[in-house]
Structure 1
Amino acid sequence: MAKQDSRRGTVKWGRALASIAGATLVLSGIPGRAAIAAETDWSNIAGPSRGFSAIAKVTVGGNTFEVVRGTDNGVWFRYNGGDFRPLGAGHSQTVDEPAIVQLQDRIVVSHRGLDGQIYYSFLQSPSANMWTQWARVPGDAWSVSGPSMVAIGPDLYVDVVQQDEQMADIALRFDSNGNINSASSWTKPYRSPILLVGPPGVGKTSLAHSIGHAVTRPITRMSLSGQTEIRDYFVGTDKAVYVGARAGQISKGAQKVPGGGLCDSGVSAARLGYQDYTVGPGHPMYNQQLQTLLSCIGTDGLVWTNSSSDGGDTWHGWQHPSGTPAVSTSTPSISATQSSFQITIRWDGTKSAQYPDNTEVGKRVNP
């Protein structure tokens, strides 16, 4: 990754988390927070490499896949903690953090190009850093934000904020070679409430992803149980973090996550438990799966977190993680295993000399 120093502008677009929880969930009697590994202090996780965004990561089958926006504005990739290397050929320049997701048995990365369009690439060989050439998502995205992706079965949904500050999304389906088999058009969400009724598996989740958002922000989806109730977290125009209602609470609309936290960045989120599939109530890992962590950069320029033991119905309160105060202007990235969270940030060396500017640092955080 390029090593020259250069500051990245503050990310203003709110990230959101859409979590899926069983409609029959009973909140009474849920145990407290599950025991996880001891919390650590912030440490350099990328050596001499520097980045203009936090490192985004997915873990599949015990292997880690990480992407970051380098200080050359290119997309960089590393596998299992090795060296960062440039990702893909053509249209690799970006002005936002790239997104990475597991789509069935493949890894896909996307980013916003300098032309405001969205590009994607599929991993072919992690050890050899072989990727398909960057390809443009069909249609005109005219995005002013980095993309957010969610995989639902064989379909990849991509969300952006367009030039008119309205959210738009598109659904893509690929063949085994990474070529698009079918694609919807870029669609703006409906503004009126819509109630979707039907048994599991009929497509309510996929449809709700396209039409159920009442906010003009991109989203990132996280599954809690594999059922069909959608829940979103997002940063509002007042800088507060909001959470969407559960099923049966539609009339209440989005509610502020309590504690008075205000964000100068987007909000990131993750859950514990199995990361490549979800379990239902009664499974030994179900309560672990409900452990949720949010993080953003507050108006003081420091990392803040808030955690929940019940999938986001109640919260433990906004706080700075323990240890050294962490300074950044970029949206944090949260990754999770079955039992622990890790937050990564791009260090703001203009506010703290503990690390050079744009150093990638991370820490394990308790929920």
Structure 2
Amino acid sequence: MKEALVVKEALVAAPVDAAEMPSVRVQRQTTSGMIAMLIGVGVLITIVSMPWWASQGLIRSVVELCCYIAVAQMWNLLAGYAGLVSVGQQAFVGVAAYMMFVLAQLLGINPFAAVLLCLIAPVVLAIPTYGLLHRLDGPYFAIGTWVIAEVMRLATSVFTYVNAGAGMSLRVMTSYSADERAIGVSLLTALMLLVTFGGSYLLLRSRYGLALTAIRDNPVAAASQGVNVGRLRFLIWIGAAAGTGLAGAIYFMAQLRITPPSAYDPNWANISIFIVMVGGLGSLEGVLIGALIYFFADRWFGEYGATYLVVLGLLTLFMALFARGGVWGLICRLVDAPWFPTRRTLMEDRR
């Protein structure tokens, strides 16, 4: 909305003769954006090639980091653009991961294909839950998402078909060699980043991205300009559920074991909130920065237990109070070089 108003004001600020009006064009890409795109392609190629040069431990660490990025970006779409603050995204992580285990271990479907088929589960869960939650607002919506996640955890804990609280092991993976497992997981991880992160970038550059930006700035004003706020929020909720479920399925495929406490762990929501708030709410760049900060902080300081978690919480609170743009917002104050430009800038055409 703000960008549209700036362009409109620039065009009507002062009446000029049509012959004297300079030719203009809309610039959407930047040099920094093209460099970031090349780096992104290189990262995807590196992930795909990991089975031929990386150790199993490194592959598992990279998969974990990518899952954090995917889940956090889905939460970023919800809270940073659609205005839907959820603290129960672990519901979609758990239901997708358990569905993948059921399809692969109990029904005999190829586990790599099961990762894609299991996305039906979070979508099916998301549709009725949004019908229940969409009338709630603010903290009530957030609490409602947490309640749904807890209901799913309790239901899974007593469901004997999935071995109840004892959990399941993905023993079917033993029929594949270590190299085959590494290749499959690496390909799925690259696909996950393309769908969740790359898809978010394309979405934000589209006309729906303009609508989401308008909703983020002022949903009432967006609705008055013809944006169907309710429908767009519903579609983002469904898409975020599928993206979060995809990350959960890949994560637990790499772990080879699942239990209700781990699948529906509230830390999934906590990690997402930390990554987005520290990195920068409403920005793709912030998700990457926040994910890297969390990943390395967890590796280096996770052994300190409760003290480490308190520090993470205080850091999140500090960012929310004094640096709402996160680390990326602070960087933008120093240099205007977006990695994933979504703005439309009116430039004079000198050709």
Q: TM-score, normalised by structure 2?
A: 0.24
Which one has a bigger Cα radius of gyration? 2
More strand by share: 1
More helix by share: 2
Higher RCO structure, 1 or 2 (CA under 8 Å, sep 6+): 2
